Amino acid sequence: MNRKTNILSGFTLLELIIVLSIISLVLLFSVPVFKNIQIFSNSNNEAGRILLLVEKLKKESVQENKNMLMHIDLSEQRIWVTKEMTEDETSGFVLSQIRILDVIFSKDMKYDHDEYHNEYQIKFSSKGYSDMVLIHLRDDDENDHTIIIEPFLLKPEFEDKHVSFEDCT
């Protein structure tokens, strides 16, 4: 009666397949949510706030089917947003750690510019495109940066140098 039984411990192939399929289903539904989160973005600083605002405006203008305008006032260093046919400010902020030096539009584009207030308006269309714009910035350490907003790209580009339109082609 001294029988030795070999008890093998472990998981069966069926148990492993079930666990892997549950994990893949969870990933299937969570990846699109994390795709919109910019984990490594520099959203804590003001240049990052501008980048995130541009990306948000491109998405919202299509989702809400309304043209949106991003206003940039160089004299007050202020940015705010208005929706189509309204002058109500929906969101905005004043820059303190970074200065906007200038806003340059593509040469073949007409743009709204108020010479008296030194205000620029960047249009985000409900059809999914925007104005082609370069926003030149300078931080507290006197480093130049450029935000490149391209008409048909969802995400703006950030360069740690002064960029002109000749550099974009």
pLDDT in tens, 73-124: 888 888 888 887 666 556 666 665 567 776 777 655 545 554 555 788 889 9
Helices then strands, counting H and E runs in the chain, come out as 3, 9
Which two structure tokens, joined as six digits, stand for 53? Answer: 């605002």
- Residue 82 is part of a domain; what is its CATH number? 3.55.40.10
Residue 37 inside a domain? The answer is no
Residue 23 inside a domain? The answer is no
Given a contact cutoff of 8 angstroms between Cβ atoms, the answer to whether 105 and 123 are in contact is: no
Phi first, then psi: give them for residue 83, nearest 5 degrees. Answer: -95, 165
Q: Which domain holds residue 96?
A: 46-168
- Residue 164: its pLDDT value, please? 85
Which two structure tokens, joined as six digits, stand for 22? Answer: 């549950």
Residue 17 inside a domain? The answer is no
Residue 8 inside a domain? The answer is no
- Distance from C-alpha of 66 to C-alpha of 83, rounded to nearest angstrom: 7
Three-state SS for 67? coil
- Residue 44: its pLDDT value, please? 47
Residue range 3-61, pLDDT digits in tens:
666 677 788 999 999 999 999 999 888 877 666 555 444 444 778 888 888 998 999 89
Residue 146 inside a domain? The answer is yes
Q: What total number of domains does the chain contain?
A: 1
The total of other beta-carbon atoms located within 10 Å of residue 51's CB is 22
Residue 156 inside a domain? The answer is yes
How far, rounded to the nearest angstrom, does the alpha carbon of residue 84 sit from its chain's CA centroid? Answer: 21
Residue 132 inside a domain? The answer is yes
- Distance from C-alpha of 51 to C-alpha of 157, rounded to nearest angstrom: 8
Residue 83 inside a domain? The answer is yes
